[in-house]
Amino acid sequence: MKKALLTAIVFSFAFGTAMAQQQPQFSHYGFNGMFLNPAYAGIKGQGEITALGRSQYFGYNATFDNGGSPQTYMLTASLPVAAIGGGLGIGIYRDKIAELTTTNVQLSYSKHIKIGEGRLGIGVQGIFNNIYQGTYRAIDQDDIKVPREGADRKIDAGVGVWYESDKLYAGLSVNNLLRSSYKFNSQVVGGKTAEYINENHAYLTAGYNIEASSSVVVTPTVLMKVVLPGKFGDDSKFAFKNNSYEAGVRATFNDRFWGGLGYRYDESVTALGGLSFSKDNAMRVGLAYDLIAFNQDARALSSFEIMLSYRLPKPGLAIRPAIRTPRYSF
């Protein structure tokens, strides 16, 4: 590709590699397993609805055009379904980075298997992506790889496994299995189509609940995100050159209030807190603030995130079991 100064390239350098930011990241990852893994669907034995809004690198403005602070809005829901031996889930997000906007819809099914004190979910996922390219400007006006305003959409897939018990959870997933290619008209009249490839992404996450006291639970969490560029079979496919690492810990008081700290490798430190309310503390609201402490060049110093969620009551028995008593045995 000829040298070109594109808005997308400016933001690629600002936010790490372009591949590393193909999918949104959330500081509330410990509260939203449905985004990370299709096997999470219904694994907790009750329905969940979660909404997230994130402004990454808040207030960042380039020296031209309309800036480029990534904006992401997401809604996920999952529900256990005994009739199918597992759970169903859905996720919808809209992610905008500079001139590129992605609308993503995920439908998931998880098969649950009892293992020891917990359950193992094995999940599959169907994905619909619509990618919109905005207006770009190039130094080399003959560069046929510069896309012109337009959209393309593709179907993709994902798989995952998730283990959940009262104390431990752990999950591994891979999405964009089809590595779909999106094509757009070139800025150059009569030029070839510009191409955008959704690379394979893998997520490995885990957390452990520690009962520090009768009213306090401490939960360390970790998350590793990996972009796997190239085709399966390529020698460099699993070189793991595009990793992102996160770790954190939060304390929950009386299953109602929580607060915690997190660290995103070579980028930021995070403070988060929230509270639960309503019957059985079913409603939750959380806030997260990221301070960009490393590699501050071409980045604003803050990211903000808000979470709202609702936990549905656990399903009960439709018919009360008979009560046996020897009183009526004669």
The answer to whether 268 and 248 have CB atoms below 8 angstroms apart is no
Q: CA 139, 140, 142, 145 torsion: positive or negative? A: negative
Residue 302: strand pairing partners = 291
Residue 81 tokens read as 């379904």
The SS3 call for residue 134 is coil
The whole-number average pLDDT for the span 194-199 is 89
Phi (first) and psi of residue 178, to 5 degrees = -80, -10
pLDDT surpasses 90 at 189 = no
What is the pLDDT, as a whole number, of residue 57?
84
What is the pLDDT, as a whole number, of residue 40?
98
What is the pLDDT, as a whole number, of residue 324?
59
Tens-place pLDDT, residues 150-167 = 899 999 999 999 999 999
Whole-number percent of the chain with pLDDT over 90 = 64
Task: Quickly list DSSP for 280-318.
Answer: GG-EEEEEEEEEE-S--TTS-SEEEEEEEEEEPPPP--S
d(CA 97, CA 67): 9
Phi (first) and psi of residue 102, to 5 degrees = -115, 130
Q: Sorting pLDDT into bands at 50, 70 and 90, what band is 268?
A: very high
Residue 158: strand pairing partners = 125, 175
Q: CA 216, 35, 227, 64 torsion: positive or negative? A: negative
pTM for this predicted structure: 0.86
Tens-place pLDDT, residues 274-328 = 999 999 999 999 999 999 888 777 577 889 999 999 999 987 644 455 555 555 4
The whole-number average pLDDT for the span 133-144 is 80
Tens-place pLDDT, residues 57-91 = 877 766 556 566 789 999 999 999 999 999 999 99
What is the pLDDT, as a whole number, of residue 326?
55
Residue ranges and CATH numbers for the domains of the chain are 24-311 (2.40.160.40)
